Structures are given as C-alpha cells and as structure tokens.
C-alpha cells in the first residue's frame, strides 16, 4: 500500500553478506572466520542473517562448509538464520543443519535462470515443489526470491507481469514472503514503485523483501522508494560485499552499515548498533584483504568529531 509521506517506524534489515558476499571470494574464507563474523553481527543487533547456501560445493566451493558454519554459530533467542536452497538435496542438508528458513530463488529472465541454475524457469518452479515439501515436513518456512526483477543483463527489460506470475506460483505453494532481487543493479525508483504496487495489487497478503545492488549508484535511493511504498524488509551486505557470479557487470549489494546509517537518520528503528556494525565491516575488510565499497566504515557516522590537530590548517 502506498505510504504517502509517512515512512515506516521500524524496518527489518536482513544481512546477506555471509552468503551473497562471501560466495564471490575466490580464496576460501576459513569456517572459523565466517562464524566469528556472524557472531559479531548478532552482537551488533542483527537478527535475520542469510548465513550460507546449500548449493553444490563444486558450484560454489566457498560455501562448502554450510553445515559446519550453522553448527558453530551462536543462536540467541529471536535470531533467524536463513540459507539459499537450490534443490531437494540442498533442502535435506538444510533440515539436517537446523536452518530457520529456506530461500528458493529463480529468475524472472529465462536466459539468466539458465545461466544461474542451468534450468528453465518452469523447471525451477517444479523444483520448488520438492523443496517446499521437504521444508514443510520439518516445519521450516520457505521464502521465495525472484532474481532480475528489475531488468536482465541478457534480455533487457523484464515485464512486471512475469514477476506477478512467478509470485502467484509461489503463493500456490504456500510461499507468501517474496523477495524482489535487483541482481545487476538495474532498479530505479520508478521501477521499484511500479513493481511493488503491481505485486501488492495482485497479491494483497504478500510480504515483500527488496534486495538491491549498488551497481549504478542508486541502491539507497531505491530503498527510499521502497520505504515510501511501506516496504519494511531489506536485504543488505556488510561493507557492500557481493554480486552475482553468473551475471556480467554485477557489483556489490547495498551496504548494511550505510543502510543502517540512512535509516537511523530517517528516525526508523532497526535495533542495530551502528558503531558495532562498523567494527564488523572493518573486520570483514581485514579478512577479505582489500578495500571494500562501504562508505560509512571510511567516514564514520555524521556526528563523529575529530581533533583539529588531525587536519592540516590552510595557509595563504
């Protein structure tokens, strides 16, 4: 429902860096380092974290330790751990690892879906049935994600009726929490409004999560458009890590600490300690070993002050 001038009073930020960010790294990140980062995120107040993917270790070697990570992380009361699950075998592994919710993903673009999971969209939807059945038997909810929801690097514009069609198929399987994925940063505020409204008109009971990338520099602008539509669930990645290994030109997800800063400044409650989160971002940068895209980890919060001696005085 269009929110007029009133922004939501509270927002849920879903941290996806341990999955969407780490999967892009070619050098294996030790399991203990992944566990330490996730535990630090929990200490900073994050309560929904996409911790890994139960994909084939051959396809994504970085996440071959999915079960080990889930076995070792802290599990404070109220924390929700999710994982990407591509097929029935992955669903069985996720159940055994005590995942909190499974995420199934397919693309609104036929071409991207074939690149991403080597299947037609219809075959992916049929595969969802098996995942939902396995999850249901274990009492585990399933969330449905739609990649390339704002455009495809191979096909170009994506008609929103394709997104609505997939969401309706998800709904018939009992999936009512749906994420719109901006896989290669093609979203704009106009497209966000159009797709959110179309989805809400077609499925009034749907819960929408928005997943933006900052590929073209407007990731947080798109969040503002989503807030204006009353959307209260957003994926983001610590320090701006991420991308998609199966899409040309895909750079990082919107940055978690930058997002939290913006929400704080808008008076929107997140339950997250920004200073502690900046510390987590710096730790992740140390682990990765290169400068990461996050801005706040470099500049600090708006009212962080500095000693005058720290900056040279102009002469002349």
The single-letter DSSP state of residue 183 is T
Are the CB atoms for 76 and 42 separated by under 8 Å? yes
Instruction: Give the CA angle between residues 235, 75, 297 to the nearest 5°.
Output: 45
Instruction: Give the CA angle between residues 126, 131, 135 to the nearest 5°.
Output: 150
Are the CB atoms for 191 and 161 separated by under 8 Å? no
Contacts of residue 57, Cβ cutoff 8 Å, sequence gap at least 6: 63, 64
Largest CA distance in the chain: 75
Determine the angle formed by the axes of helices 189-202 and 219-228, rounding to 10 degrees.
40
Contacts of residue 52, Cβ cutoff 8 Å, sequence gap at least 6: 18, 19, 63, 65, 66, 69, 70, 83, 84
Contacts of residue 211, Cβ cutoff 8 Å, sequence gap at least 6: 16, 145, 179, 180, 181, 182, 234, 235, 253
Q: In 32-42, which positions are buried (b, 16+ CB within 10 angstroms) versus exposed (e)?
A: ebbbbbbebbb
**Catalytic residue annotation:** 244
- In this structure, the dihedral spanned by the alpha carbons of residues 200, 233, 83 and 28, taken in order and rounded to 10 degrees, is 130
Using only the alpha carbons of the chain, give its radius of gyration: 19
Contacts of residue 227, Cβ cutoff 8 Å, sequence gap at least 6: 3, 7, 8, 11, 266, 268
Burial class (CB in 10 A: 0-12, 13-18, 19+), 215: buried
């Amino acid at each position: 429902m269009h929110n007029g001038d009133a922004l939501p009073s509270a927002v849920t930020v879903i941290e996806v860096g341990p999955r969407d960010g780490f999967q892009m790294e070619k050098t294996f990140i030790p399991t203990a380092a992944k566990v330490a980062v996730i535990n630090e995120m929990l200490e900073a107040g994050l309560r929904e974290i996409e911790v890994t993917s139960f994909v084939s270790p051959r396809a994504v070697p970085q996440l071959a330790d999915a079960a080990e990570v889930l076995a070792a992380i802290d599990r404070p009361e109220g924390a929700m751990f999710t994982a990407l699950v591509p097929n029935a075998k992955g669903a069985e592994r996720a159940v055994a690892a005590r995942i909190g919710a499974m995420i199934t993903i397919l693309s609104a673009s036929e071409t991207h879906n074939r690149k991403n999971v080597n299947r037609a969209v219809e075959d992916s939807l049929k595969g969802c049935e098996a995942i939902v059945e396995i999850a249901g038997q274990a009492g585990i909810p399933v969330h449905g994600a739609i990649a390339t929801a704002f455009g495809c690097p191979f096909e170009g514009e994506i008609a929103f009726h394709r997104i609505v069609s997939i969401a309706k198929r998800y709904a018939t399987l009992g999936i009512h929490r749906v994420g719109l994925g901006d896989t290669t940063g093609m979203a704009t505020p106009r497209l966000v409004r159009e797709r959110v409204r179309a989805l809400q008109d077609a499925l009034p009971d749907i819960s929408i999560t928005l997943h933006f990338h900052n590929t073209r520099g407007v990731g947080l602008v798109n969040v503002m458009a989503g807030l204006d539509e009353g959307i209260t669930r957003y994926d983001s990645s610590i320090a701006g890590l991420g991308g998609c290994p199966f899409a040309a030109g895909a750079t990082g997800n919107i940055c978690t600490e930058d997002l939290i800063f913006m929400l704080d400044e808008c008076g929107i409650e997140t339950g997250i300690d920004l200073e502690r989160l900046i510390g987590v971002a710096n730790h992740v940068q140390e682990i990765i070993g290169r400068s990461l895209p996050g801005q706040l980890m470099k500049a600090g919060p708006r009212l962080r002050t500095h000693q005058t001696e720290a900056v040279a005085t102009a002469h002349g």
